[in-house]
Amino acid sequence: MFLTILQLCYLFSFGGPDGYGYLFLATKDGDPLYFHWEDITETGTRLDLGDDDYVAIDLPFSFPFYDALYNYAFIGSNGLIYFADQYVGIENECLPTHIYDVGDLIALYWSDLNPEDSVAGVYYQNFGSYTVIEYHMVPIVGLSGRNTFEVILTPTGYIELLYLHMESYSDETIGIQDATALSGNHWYLEYVCEGEPSLRVPSDSSAVLYIPPWVSAKETRLTSKPIHNTSGKLLLCRAPSLPVPASVPDDFVDLFLFRADGRTILKVPGIGIGRGESNLTVPGTASLPSGIYRVLLRGRKTERRYSILLLH
């Protein structure tokens, strides 16, 4: 089993799944478990991107996004990555939206940006196994301050939005959506829009990671660390294996799995735990959707409660 411990505190947030199954994880303050900044201003290609403009790039792999595959992307000057050959204007909207008739999109910092001055620039670089698109020191029209952020696309569909240095914010939109998002299927997952929720407004060294439903933990760029305790942690695991805290003293426990709303969705009595065992194979978890769950292990002597992010 591939297992990762993620810092869980007031700066950590998660959301989803949307109607398709995408989740997001987010953190701030440069947490090394998430924040893998790639500076490509010296090695990448600077795009000839003016104000209110867009250009096309080729991807070195087929990028899966919702139920489509793309070997190209359009980079917009206003902080958008999308997959239709047309301009997307300066008026950002909250998701879902079909403004400008553009459907599939990644809004990494959708606003009225101007990357064409002498200091700012937009760069991209293909690394074979992933592609980086960096907006470097780009100002928002009418505001002081410059912003540096990037998106990393991977052939698994795993998406990283990274915010290195942010000096200005007005009402930007951050999130993803499919072309059919307005049909009622809820194939979109917004992170922040018009400053709400306020705790999600990106600051320096923050990250938002979008994980599609088919991606397992080992296919992300999350960093693996050994388990030492579960206090203040969120455990990332792959079904049907669940982690076991080292502090569980009982040989047999009853396992309860709860949804985020507190409803019990799984009960497995009398599970045997071997000495030094760090994970359990739990029947029934393979059919559960990816998401955040609470675990209760109840034995004769004690009980342990902790949270997991279950992926497949």
For 80-106, how does the pLDDT look when each residue is reduced to its tens digit (9 = 90+)?
Answer: 999 988 888 778 899 998 877 778 999
Can you give the pLDDT at residue 250? 61
Check pLDDT > 60 for residue 217. no
pLDDT of the residue at 270: 82
Length of the chain: 312
Give the per-residue pLDDT at 241: 74
pLDDT at 226: 28
Residue 231 near residue 43, CB atoms below 8 Å: no
How many angstroms separate the CA atoms of 92 and 94, rounded? Answer: 7
- What mean pLDDT is predicted for residues 191-195? 92
Nearest to 26 by CA among 177, 153, 210, 190: 210
Specify the DSSP class assigned to residue 93.
Answer: -
pLDDT of residue 66: 94
For the chain, domain boundaries: 9-214, 233-311
Q: What is the pLDDT of residue 63?
A: 94
For residues 168 and 23, the model is more confident at: 23
**Between residues 144 and 78, the one the model is more confident about:** 78
Instruction: Share the mean pLDDT of the chain.
Output: 81
CATH topology of domain 233-311: Immunoglobulin-like (2.60.40)
Predicted pLDDT of residue 133: 98
Residue 199 pLDDT level (bands cut at 50, 70, 90): confident
User: Percent of the chain, pLDDT > 90?
Assistant: 37
Residue 110 has a pLDDT of: 94
Summarised one tens digit per residue, pLDDT across range 288-311 is 876 667 788 888 777 777 777 776
Q: Where are the alpha helices (DSSP H) in the chain?
A: none
Can you tell me the mean pLDDT for 278-286? Answer: 78
What is residue 138's predicted lDDT score, i.e. its pLDDT? 94
Nearest-angstrom CA–CA distance, 133 and 80 = 11
- What's the farthest any 2 CA atoms get from each other in the chain? 69
User: Can you tell me the mean pLDDT for 197-223?
Assistant: 75
* pLDDT mean over 14-42: 82
**22, 149, 280, 294, 300 from 265: Cα distances, Å:** 21, 40, 17, 10, 22
Angle at CA 266, nearest 5°, toward 261 and 272?
130
Nearest-angstrom CA–CA distance, 258 and 260 = 7
Phi, psi of 53 (to 5 degrees): -140, 170
Confirm if 40 and 124 have CB atoms less than 8 A apart: yes
Q: Give the three-class secondary structure for 12.
A: coil
Predicted pLDDT at 312? 61
The model's pLDDT over 111-126, given as tens digits with 9 standing for 90+, comes to: 999 998 878 999 999 9
End-to-end CA distance of the chain: 11
pLDDT, greater one: 234 or 197: 197
Distance CA(78)–CA(80), nearest Å, equals 6
Whole-angstrom distance, CA of residue 300 vs CA of residue 278: 19
Mean pLDDT of 53-72: 94
Q: Measuring CA to CA, which residue among 81, 10, 27 is closest to residue 208?
A: 27
Phi and psi torsions of 57, nearest 5°:
-130, 155
pLDDT score recorded for residue 221? 52
Mean pLDDT is lowest, of 61-65, 182-186, 238-242, 285-289, for 238-242
User: Quick one: 87 exposed, middle or buried, by C-beta within 10 A (0-12, 13-18, 19+)?
Assistant: middle
> Rounded distance, CA 204 to CA 162, Å?
9
Long-range CB contacts for residues 198-201, cutoff 8 Å, separation at least 24: 199/10, 199/13, 200/13, 200/26, 200/174, 201/169
Indicate if the pLDDT at residue 64 is higher than 50. Answer: yes
Query: Is the pLDDT at 222 greater than 90, yes or no?
Result: no
Tell me the mean pLDDT in the region 199-216: 85
